Copies of this chain bind each other. A is one copy, B any other.
Amino acid sequence: MQEIKIIEVKESVFADNNADAERLRAQLKEEKTFLLNVMSSPGSGKTTTLLALAKELEGKLRWAVMEADIDSVVDAETMKTAGVEAIQIHTGGMCHLDADMTRQGLSQLDRSELDLVVLENVGNLVCPAEFDTGSVKNMTILSVPEGDDKPLKYPLMYETCDLLVINKIDVLDYFDFDCEKVVEYAKRRNPNIEVLFVSARTGEGIPELAGWIFRQVTAWNV
């Protein structure tokens, strides 16, 4: 078993999380570090998608992952085993991360050596969308087995995200999931949202996702 650094983060002392998030983002801009906040339901494949990205990003970007969970070190272990720098953030029961909790995680990483930090938020379609983490971009993953109606039920998640990744497209044949409808529902919430279709398991669509991330990071870290 890997030795995993576990950060027990505390709830923010700042009353105004939005202002705090702006401060963190300004600091990251100065440091030339891109922070990507990845959100989804439990089990949509956040960790598996990051694993698939590891191969694509190797040699192109220097990156690390902050795995947020209420408990367990399962995800950070998985990333470390794959050779990606990873720390585990424990939220102590909290259902989301705010900007200061994110900062507490970031303080454990040597950002001068990193172009990109990915925050894998707590698996939850509701609360994480309500708190700006200080990220530069937000991405949400929806997996085919969850159904195409999720943008109708969890509006804020889709409103706050720049990219929607539809994962597990390798099992499309086994589920009633309408790829056109999900895009229509998501755009109804957020006309500017971009949508990519991937299978983290087979690797389909992962080069395109890596390309999207690479373009965002290089545009930010100028």
Interface residues of A (CB under 8 A from B): 41-43, 69-72, 74, 93, 95, 122-127, 130, 143, 145-147, 149-150, 152-156, 168, 171, 174-175
Q: Quick one: given A43-B41, A95-B95, A95-B127, are A74 and B153 in contact (CB under 8 Å)? A: yes
Identity of the chain B residue whose Cβ is nearest the Cβ of A189 in the assembled complex: B71
Picked from B93, B130, B145, the residue with its CB within 8 Å of the CB of A168 is B145
Docked Cα-Cα span, A175 to B209, in Å, equals 23
Residues of B within 8 A of A152 (CB): 71-72, 74
Picked from B69, B122, B146, B155, the residue with its CB within 8 Å of the CB of A70 is B155
Residues of B within 8 A of A155 (CB): 70-71
Give, as a whole number of angstroms, the nearest-CB distance from A210 to chain B. Answer: 23
| A43:B174 contact, CB within 8 angstroms | no
Q: Quick one: given A42-B146, A43-B147, are A126 and B125 in contact (CB under 8 Å)? A: no
Q: How many copies does the complex hold?
A: 2
The 3 lowest CB-CB distance pairs between A and B, nearest first, are A43-B146, A145-B145, A95-B126
Q: Quick one: given A43-B41, A123-B125, are A156 and B93 in contact (CB under 8 Å)? A: yes
Give, as a whole number of angstroms, the nearest-CB distance from A193 to chain B. Answer: 17
| B171:A145 contact, CB within 8 angstroms | yes
Give, as a whole number of angstroms, the nearest-CB distance from A1 to chain B. Answer: 14
Identity of the chain B residue whose Cβ is nearest the Cβ of A173 in the assembled complex: B174
| B154:A70 contact, CB within 8 angstroms | yes
Docked Cα-Cα span, A24 to B18, in Å, equals 38
Query: Counting chain B CB atoms within 10 Å of each CB, which of A42, A69, A147 scores highest?
Result: A42
Q: Quick one: given A41-B43, A42-B125, A95-B126, are A149 and B70 in contact (CB under 8 Å)? A: no
| B43:A154 contact, CB within 8 angstroms | no
Picked from B95, B126, B150, the residue with its CB within 8 Å of the CB of A43 is B150
